[in-house]
Amino acid sequence: MVPVPVTKTSARFVPDPTRVITKPFTPGTERSVDGRSRVERILSRILALPESEVTTTLSTTQARFAARHIDLRSVFEANFVAVAAGHIAQPGELSAERRLLIGAYFTQEYSIESAALTNPSIVPAPDQEGLAPGEQRFVLSLRAIGEGHISSIEFRSGIIDAGGQIEMEAPSRKASTARHRAPVYEKHIFQTKLRELDVYNGIAATVLDALPDRFTLEQLETIIRKVDQKHRHRAEAEHVTRTIHWLASSNYESSFAEDSKLSERVLFPAGPTESQGMEDARFVRFTRDDGTVTYFAQYTAFDGYQILPQLIETADFETFRIATLNGACAKNKGIALFPRKIDGRYAALSRLDNENNFLMWSDNIRFWHQSEVIQTPERSWEITQLGNCGSPLETEAGWLVITHGVGAMRQYALGAILLDKEDPARVVGHLARPLLEPAADERDGYVPNVVYSCGSMISGGLLVLPYGFSDVGTRIATVRLDDLLAELTRAR
């Protein structure tokens, strides 16, 4: 049996340790014999510097780091306020230079992709203006892994022409994180999630009953302080209020400067559920019933102990809303949304049991309660487990799903199945052999013998398939759609 031909393009992405962001630097909390914290001791030494040395040290620091960051002075000022200002009796009396220098001491660089740049997904870009016939502009998302194996989400953009040639836009040398703000919360969603977490009791009811149906983080924190004060000797009450605040902090909005470049924007962990990583975002261009388009992505949030699927929503890749998912089926990794509703309902693929492919249905994109197994491991190259490699792609023949399977020696391979267009629970086609396996130059890395994708797209008559290799880098391959569909439908 002849395999489906796969063409590997010249597009290749590997980690670049020079791409850095700034993060607040907070030293340890241990106290000295005089009772002062490390922050307070560091501050006392900076405050003792003569003004001339403050000016010289600040100037040297800015000269060394300013070219690596966007508006470094604003970063220093923000970190002065965030880390240090509360420890100074009269911060307003400090010179501007000393404030900035203090901020510099409480700032650090973080290399966002020093370990890996992998597990990509690809979608048509919102802006398709100014292109030649047959060309399509795309947005590529990447899982960037840095120090401590913390994952964030980066973006690249490029154009693919009718012949399958890809031209990538050169990434900016600078990178920046977003501005965050809390959204307006909906009480009924909070109640549902707290019940799922098994913490909805009398204390939780007291907090939520005191809030309107839609409330802000400030309103919530005011009520929590009152409840904490009233029940300050009850450990159970503190656990409930901390959980409520944790849940609120896990839902937020991120925005980037309008004039920033796409490749400069980094979605870096900001909520407690993702403190150790935002992993494997599966982006999809979702068309609503009225024709409007929203981009969604389910990703895996990791706090160092447990994983939790969360949802990204954006219209322009400039402003993003982050939300927790709810329901018995909102668990484990690999949730991938269909690009439109089917029979008036949302549909998604998932791997609930870490082994089989499931189909999920919902009337609300944030609530998932219904699921069924649609594919189990059968072929030798997927015996250990299988899962999806991103959202299904709609074709005349049915829903095309790229899959991954794990075989002997924990080798990952990519395959494909075809789902019935009207009833996606029916698998109507399955490749008998892998579509893509690790090549000789793709086998070695942080996790060897792996190829993996979080989403592909169709451009003209081509399947555009980006894939990560061995948790190191990323490549983009193309497959003639007719060839793939012919093989999937051949054995019907």
Report the 10 Å Cβ neighbour count for 406.
Answer: 20
Q: Rounded to whole angstroms, how far apart are CA atoms 373 and 387?
A: 11
pLDDT given for residue 375 in this prediction: 97
Indicate the burial class of 139 (C-beta count within 10 angstroms; 0-12, 13-18, 19 or more): buried
Percent of the chain topping pLDDT 90 = 85
Query: If you average pLDDT over every residue of the chain, what do you get?
Result: 94
Segment 170-204, tens digit of pLDDT: 999 999 999 999 899 999 888 988 988 888 999 99
According to the 3-state scheme, what is the secondary structure of 256-275?
CCCCCCHHHEEECCCCHHHC
Mean pLDDT value across residues 348-360: 95
pLDDT given for residue 492 in this prediction: 56
Is pLDDT above 70 for 302? yes
pLDDT given for residue 34 in this prediction: 78
**Where is pLDDT greater, at 315 or 193?**
315
Is pLDDT above 70 for 1? no
Q: Rounded to whole angstroms, how far apart are CA atoms 141 and 157?
A: 9
pLDDT band at 31 (very low <50, low <70, confident <90, very high): confident
Is pLDDT above 80 for 28? no
Segment 197-242, tens digit of pLDDT: 888 999 999 999 999 999 999 999 999 999 998 887 788 888 999 9
Whether residue 393 contacts residue 463, with contact meaning beta carbons closer than 8 Å, is answered with yes
pLDDT given for residue 88 in this prediction: 87
Q: Rounded to whole angstroms, how far apart are CA atoms 70 and 273?
A: 28
Segment 232-288, tens digit of pLDDT: 778 888 899 999 999 999 999 999 999 999 999 999 999 999 999 999 999 999 999
> b or e along 95-111 (b: 16 or more beta carbons within 10 Å of the residue's beta carbon)?
eeebbbbbbbbbbeebb
Mean pLDDT value across residues 94-102: 95
Segment 329-345, tens digit of pLDDT: 998 889 999 999 999 99
| Residue linked to tokens 């660089």 | 109
Q: Please, how many CA atoms are within 13 Å of residue 425, restricted to the half-sphere of its CB? A: 7
pLDDT given for residue 491 in this prediction: 58
Q: What's the Cα-to-Cα distance from 161 to each of 132, 177, 314, 455, 474, rounded to whole Å?
A: 8, 32, 26, 19, 20
Segment 106-160, tens digit of pLDDT: 999 999 999 999 999 999 999 999 999 999 999 999 999 999 999 999 999 999 9
- Using only C-alpha atoms, what is the Rg of the chain? 25
